[in-house]
């Protein structure tokens, strides 16, 4: 049963604790990365058979396989994919940055260019569930940014790749798809193999092995983030419907046994009603076992003395998803500092953002919303700065630059500016 705590009687370590996956994956992942780096496709084939019971001959998904997948997907769902893609594209178009040039002083020009990354790898999970939404969320911002080559990898089970994942890839305009998953897929994207090209950056969620692999290859390539288990925090007052709140909490709990679902409220009556409703709804879930484990291990209901105390708790927890289910949600929004994505009002449950609204669902977890942001167009571009000085402009500033260099003891730096105007 989901436990209820009073804010003044619960310790910080109980409020903010996140259950961690204690499996030791570091050495296993390091071994897999080394194997793929040294043995390429042969290692990928070995792991496909070992982990997915799949025999892979050609890693790249063919156009014929994509078309066969499309034929298996309901036309109504294809239309939903198209509409969701349009929503995601429209939202992310507003994130595009422009080059700029500053010429505030005579003879001096400073500027910045915004340049799309050349090659990006997208990891799409295919373990306990298939996520076509991840395909859209991770690839469309890259397309908007202008990335020239998007390489998608996803596990191929004995029965093949989910047709819904391939349909989402087609909708997003991705046609370079490879049949590999897990830490070995991350290795392939980082180092390249005979079949799979090395990329400049890897994005996308995955299990503990995928997250650890991304961590270990960072530096060789860029990564979006090291994502932990899913999280939701619902901030609610007495006006909230307990059955709706319970449903919203369970929508994240069913993701993963390590997921975290938290209710913060100023109403003890709501807290008790939600606690009861959670038990009622758990029994109706297909993934009851996963959701129940999540709720019992990581779920909690915190009763605050007032909503502002609840807001402060939310800011300290810094959840991946924050729902504000109160009578006047916009009144609280200015006080929210730390959250991956905020859902306002009683008719904006988190799954709307997961699939359809248009904002991104690849979000900072494990409290990293204190300093990190949702996946965006910014993740698929780099900035390059440039400058230009005329002779007169440098003559105006060179002695100041030389003095700065001298202060730091870098005489070659000092010489590089003085030599243009003084005999040295």
Q: How far apart are CA 285 and CA 251, in angstroms?
A: 10
**Which DSSP string do the residues of 338-360 spell out, in sequence order?**
S-SEEEESTT--HHHHHHTSSS-
Helix (H), strand (E) counts: the chain: 17, 14
Q: How far apart are CA 208 and CA 228, in angstroms?
A: 8
Residue 361 designated active-site: no
Q: What is the CA radius of gyration of the chain?
A: 25
Spatial contact of 53 and 102, defined as CB atoms under 8 Å apart: no
Alpha-helical regions (H) of 200-328: 208-217, 242-253, 268-282, 288-298, 307-317
Q: How far apart are CA 90 and CA 92, in angstroms?
A: 6
Residue 320 designated active-site: yes
Query: Closest Cα to residue 23, out of 151, 157, 210, 168?
Result: 210
The H or E element spanning position 323 is: strand 321-325
Spatial strand order in the sheet of 341-344: 3-6, 300-303, 260-265, 231-236, 321-325, 341-344
Cα 203–Cα 204–Cα 205 angle in degrees, nearest 5:
140
Query: Closest Cα to residue 202, out of 228, 194, 193, 185?
Result: 185
Strand-strand pairing, 177-179 and 201-203: unpaired
Q: How far apart are CA 136 and CA 351, in angstroms?
A: 15
Spatial contact of 230 and 365, defined as CB atoms under 8 Å apart: yes
Angle between helices 163-172 and 132-145 (to 10 degrees): 20
Contacts of 249 by beta carbon, 8 Å cutoff, 6+ apart: 2, 232, 234, 261, 262, 263, 274, 278, 295, 299
Q: Looking at 321, 323, 350, 361, which residue is catalytic? A: 321
Strand-strand pairing, 381-389 and 108-116: antiparallel
Q: Looking at 231, 277, 320, 323, which residue is catalytic? A: 320
Cα distances from 185 to residues 52, 138, 153, 209, 323, in angstroms, run: 13, 16, 7, 11, 34
Catalytic residue IDs: 320-321
């Amino acid at each position: 049963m989901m436990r209820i705590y009073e804010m003044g009687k619960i310790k910080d370590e109980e409020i903010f604790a996140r259950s961690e996956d204690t499996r030791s994956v570091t050495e296993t992942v390091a071994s897999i990365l080394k194997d793929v780096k040294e043995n390429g496709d042969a290692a990928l084939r070995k792991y496909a058979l070992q982990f997915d019971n799949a025999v892979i001959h050609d890693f790249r998904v063919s156009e014929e396989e994509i078309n066969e997948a499309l034929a298996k997907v309901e036309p109504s769902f294809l239309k939903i994919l198209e509409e969701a893609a349009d929503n995601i594209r429209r939202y992310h178009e507003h994130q595009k940055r422009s080059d700029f040039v500053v010429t505030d002083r005579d003879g001096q020009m400073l500027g910045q260019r915004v340049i799309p990354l050349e090659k990006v790898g997208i990891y799409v999970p295919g373990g306990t569930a298939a996520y076509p939404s991840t395909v859209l969320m991770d690839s469309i911002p890259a397309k908007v940014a202008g990335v020239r080559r998007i390489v998608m990898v996803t596990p191929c089970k004995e029965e093949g790749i989910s047709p819904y994942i391939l349909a989402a890839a087609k909708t997003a305009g991705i046609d370079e798809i490879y049949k590999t998953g897990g830490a070995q897929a991350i290795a392939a994207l980082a180092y390249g193999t005979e079949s799979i090209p090395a990329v400049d950056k890897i994005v996308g969620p995955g299990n503990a092995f995928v997250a650890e692999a991304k961590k270990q290859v960072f530096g060789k390539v860029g990564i979006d983030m090291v994502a932990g288990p899913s999280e939701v925090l619902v901030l609610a007052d007495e006006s909230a419907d307990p059955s709706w709140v319970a449903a919203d909490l369970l929508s994240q709990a069913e993701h993963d046994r390590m997921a975290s679902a938290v209710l913060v409220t100023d109403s003890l009556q709501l807290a008790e009603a939600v606690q009861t409703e959670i038990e009622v709804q758990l029994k109706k879930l297909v993934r009851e076992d996963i959701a129940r484990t999540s709720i019992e291990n990581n779920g909690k209901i915190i009763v605050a003395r007032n909503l502002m105390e609840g807001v402060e708790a939310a800011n300290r927890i810094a959840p991946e998803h924050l729902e504000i289910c109160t009578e006047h949600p916009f009144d609280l929004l200015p006080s929210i500092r730390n959250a991956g994505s905020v859902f306002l009002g009683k008719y904006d449950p988190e799954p709307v953002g997961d699939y359809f609204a248009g904002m991104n669902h690849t979000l900072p977890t494990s409290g990293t919303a204190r300093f990190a942001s949702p996946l965006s167009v910014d993740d698929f571009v780099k900035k390059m700065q440039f400058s230009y000085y005329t002779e007169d402009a440098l003559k105006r500033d060179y002695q100041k630059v030389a003095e700065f260099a001298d202060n730091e003891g870098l005489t070659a730096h000092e010489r590089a500016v003085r030599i243009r105007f003084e005999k040295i």
